[in-house]
Amino acid sequence: MKARFITFEGIEGSGKSTQVKLLTQYLDQRSLPYLTTREPGGTPIAEAIRKILLDPACAEMLPETELLLYNASRAQHTGELILPALREGKIVISDRYFDSTYAYQGAARKLDYTVIDHLTAFATFNTTPDLTILLDLPAEAGLSRIGNRALDRLEQENLEFHQKVREQFLFIAKKCASRYLVIDAQKASDEIHQEIIRYIDFC
């Protein structure tokens, strides 16, 4: 398998972290070089920005500030970590990337998509994932899965917010079908993992 950039997307509680872990175990078994990371985060600077973005104490944060902080984190993440790893021939697996900005800040926060387009191109150095795996499930189901933990600032948003996020992910997946794999996240985690492996091995 050549160097590839694989991202996981989905609403809160969709099981992205579980599938990232299962995929890395699979790559370990095959002795393939890889890097796992997340957004916001991935580098010390980006992780520091993550703390601000997800802190419930920052409830007064403006949508515009949120958008700029996500892209500041993404620029550091992409330039410092993702692009060097790809140049080294590694498979890069990220829990979220720029599609989340279109879903959360675009659809749910109602910010201008043209502005998001320009910021995304700048912050990613025009980098696009080779494959994006969308773990899709109803917002109610996702929120019920995370209800027993301390929620971050975005997880605390209302049901309508998360429904808009889900709808936008599905819209993006249809628009960018050539790089998207959409999976019903209500399936058993091992069944989802096997579906991912079959697709990656034979696509």
Mean pLDDT along residues 179-187: 98
Mean pLDDT along residues 46-64: 98
pLDDT tens profile 132-150: 999 999 999 999 999 888 9
Model pLDDT, residue 44: 98
Mean pLDDT along residues 33-38: 98
Domain that holds residue 161: 5-202
Model pLDDT, residue 37: 98
Model pLDDT, residue 149: 86
Which whole-number Å values give the CA distances from 138 to 135, 185, 186, in the listed order?
A: 10, 9, 9
Do 40 and 153 contact (CB within 8 A), yes or no? no
Model pLDDT, residue 20: 98
| Residue 105 structure tokens | 């800040």
**Type of residue at 26:** Y
Number of domains in the chain: 1
pLDDT tens profile 153-165: 999 999 999 999 9
**pLDDT for residue 176 is more than 80:** yes
Do 166 and 11 contact (CB within 8 A), yes or no? yes
Return the CATH number at 125: 3.40.50.300
Mean pLDDT along residues 169-186: 98
Q: What is the pTM of this model?
A: 0.95
